[in-house]
Every structure is written in structure tokens, then in C-alpha cells.
Amino acid sequence: MPVAYLLVRIKITREEGWPEYRQKVAELFAKHGGRYLVRCGPVEVLEGSYDGRRLVVFEFPSMVVIRSVWNSPQYAKLKKLRQGSGELDVWAVPGV
């Protein structure tokens, strides 16, 4: 079965909006087969450097599902909860 991952690096600049966003995004992603694999936690640097941003990794059934959820009206509403309170890098990658 194909699998894909959504990787997110987050720098929170203002806590306001994040708790509700985290809860609701987890619920929305779960409805589409997404699940947390990594949700921050301690980072052990084995090589290179770590800039302190939070790391989140979701697993989804496919790249198609990630695109569908990311571009959905439901996610657009949730995104507004965190706008202006952080900086994100978000990548979608197919699994092997």
C-alpha cells in the first residue's frame, strides 16, 4: 500500500491559537487516514546541527490524500487559527 509523509518544522512565535489548531488538525488529518509519527520531543543531534524548531511528522495513505487535505476548505479554516503566530516549513514526500 502506498504511503506518504507530511514533515513540518515549526517555530512558534506566539502560543495563541496553537492548542486549538493542534487538536483540530489532528482530528481532520485522522479522518483522512493521517496519523502522528513524530510530535516534537527531544532531538538528539548525531551529526550536523539542530536549530531548535519543533519537528512533526505525519503518515498518510498517499500523496494524493495529503494534497487533498492540505488544499481543502476544512484545512483552510484551521490554518487561520495559527496564522501570524509561527513560521512553518512543510514538505510532503512519498514513502518507499
Show Cβ contacts of residue 32 under 8 Å, excluding neighbours closer than 6 positions. Answer: 60, 61, 65, 68, 69
DSSP string over 40-96 = S-----SSS-----EEEEEEES-HHHHHHHHTSHHHHHHHHHHTTSEEEEEEEEE--
Band (pLDDT 50/70/90 cuts) for residue 80 is very high
CA 41/CA 16 separation, integer angstroms: 20
Going by C-alpha positions, the residue among 74, 75, 95, 96 that lies closest to residue 7 is 95
| pLDDT tens-digit series, residues 25-77 | 999 999 999 999 999 878 999 999 999 999 999 999 999 999 999 999 999 99
